[in-house]
Amino acid sequence: MMGKKVLFSIICFFLVLISRFYFTPLIFAQESSGSSGVAVPDIFPIPNPEPGFLGQDHSYSVTFRGNGEAVVALKVVLTNKGESPLSEATLRIPKVAPQEIFVYQVLRDPVCSRFLNDNTCLETQEPDYYGYYWSKSRYQKSQSEYSGDTLKVILPQAIASNKSGSFFVYFRAMGYAEKNMFGAYQFSFESFQVDDDIRNLTVGISTDSDLVLRGATGDVNYRFEDASPSLKAVGGGGAPAESSAIDTFYNQIGYGSLVKTASSLAPLESYTVSSSYASTRIKLYAKEAAWGVGIFLGLMVLAVVVSRILLRKSNSGQGGTKVTSFDSRSLILSLGVSFGSAALVSGYSVLAILAVGFLTRNIGYDFQAAATILVVVISFAVYALFLFAPGIYLGAKKGMGWGIATLFLTVFWMLIFLGVGLLIYLSVRTPNSYPGPIPLGGASLGKPMDYDF
């Protein structure tokens, strides 16, 4: 009896599985083939992977001018965590007093998630200001009040409870950058503080096209022209208006030649980006060059002092109480010969590089390898001659110690020439302008980006 019950239970289990896999799709197919006329899209709007209650998103684009002025654009995406509509937002702007302040609220229409067969929208969902899936934007000028170090933004359309929204701020300010004694500007940009968490923060720093920014990646200048005419023309404090120029401006906020990011900032916390820029690389790196020259002179003085001490000890050991004076002529001769030898090596290196480039461009492919090998063999002989011949000569005339010192000084001068050559090359090269892609938007408000090779 027990065996029959077990067998019956097993048969019922398999019947349930069969009905599950074979009959359920048929039922769904019948339901979807009804006459409701609703077409379910294959791709639904992608939800934001991080909920807005984790905090705001702030993106900055800061462009520094040749006079030390900074043009700042801030994009804020926020969520109303309160129970009542949010009509005001406050930003604490440290260090500077902003001028020509423009504030615009970004308004987006709901996104359609379900369509009828005639493309009529059946169901919509709230626009996602945090993500990239969004409908067409409209911009409405917002009133703002600046007092002390706090900017109060009055939103024309309040953000409902548990809903997201966005606005952007544009202004000019002096005070972020200070000019040093070498003609370069040292800047320190501190992000704005809010009474809310900031989950993601991006700061894009750039300069005018004729300036050099320290730490720039790829030397690509993302910059904006003066956006104030477009901002004055759009909105005007009345009804929201569409603008392709403002679309591009808004979508490019956060880009720059130097980009820094931070995350999970607590309320009233800020993030600081510091660097420097100048009109030429010589001014930009003049401080480091001065330190290098100072260290070089210090090493030279130290080498002379140590050499004198060693020679005095050597002479006193050989002659008992007899102490000879330091051989200044030999030192000057060693310095001059090593300098000339290093100059010859550096000059020949430049000629060898030019010769290889000329041969590879003007002779056939079959002979390029042979020509390169010939230049390499000749270079070995020339380097051996210029490096070792002066040291051997002074070693034979003045002693082995002076010969070794000359060899080391030659290598030292070669390193100096290499550093100076690189500095000159970086300071005189000019960027080649090529039209580049515009990130996240249509035509740029500015000129074609400069790709500096």
Instruction: Please enumerate in sequence order all residues whose Cβ is within 8 A of that of 369, keeping only pairs 6 or more positions apart, or say none.
Output: none
Other beta carbons within 10 angstroms of residue 88's beta carbon come to: 12
Q: How far is CA 357 from the centre of its chain?
A: 33
- Is residue 449 within 8 A of residue 226, CB to CB? The reply is no
pTM over 0.75, yes/no? no
Is 66:79 a contact under the CB 8 Å cutoff? no
Q: Please, are residues 137 and 250 in contact by the beta-carbon 8 Å criterion?
A: yes
Tell me the three state secondary structure of residue 20: helix
221, two tokens: 């200048």
Please give the distance of CA 352 from its chain centroid, rounded to a whole number.
36
- C-alpha torsion angle, residues 207, 212, 218, 222 (rounded to 10): 10
Question: 91, 153 in Cβ contact below 8 A?
Answer: yes
Burial class (CB in 10 A: 0-12, 13-18, 19+), 343: middle
CA 229/CA 251 separation, integer angstroms: 18
Element (H, E) at 289: helix 286-319
Strand, coil or helix: 372: helix
Beta bridge partners of 159: 86
pLDDT of residue 92: 95
Question: What is the dihedral angle through the alpha carbons of 388, 389, 393, 394, rounded to the nearest 10 degrees?
Answer: -40
DSSP percent split of the chain into helix, strand, coil, nearest 5: 40, 25, 30
Write down the pLDDT at residue 235: 53
- Which residue segments constitute the domains of the chain, with CATH numbers given? 52-279 (2.60.40), 286-428 (no CATH)
Alpha-carbon torsion (275, 279, 284, 287), positive or negative: negative
Q: Which helix (H) or strand (E) holds 361?
A: helix 328-362
Q: State how far the Cα of 240 lies from the Cα of 139, in Å rounded to an integer.
A: 5
Taking the CA of residue 112 as centre, how many other CA atoms within 13 Å lie in the half-sphere pointing to its CB?
Answer: 11
pLDDT of residue 37: 37
Rounded CA separation 42/47 (Å):
15
pLDDT in tens, 273-328: 999 999 887 888 888 777 777 777 777 777 667 766 766 665 565 555 554 455 66
- As beta bridge partners, residue 92 has 150, 193
Closest CA to 440 of 165, 48, 131, 47: 131
Task: Extract the residue ranges of the chain whose pLDDT is less than 70.
Answer: 1-53, 132-135, 217-230, 232-238, 303-304, 307-308, 310-328, 423-453
Look-up: residue for tokens 């003049």?
286
* Amino acid identity at 94: P
Name the phi and psi angles at 63, rounded to 5. Answer: -110, 125
- Which residue, among 189, 181, 202, has the nearest Cα to 256 in the 3D structure? 202
Alpha helix stretches (DSSP H) within 168-255:
228-233, 244-252
CA terminus-to-terminus distance, the chain: 89
Question: Which residues are paired to 139 by β-bridges?
Answer: 106, 241
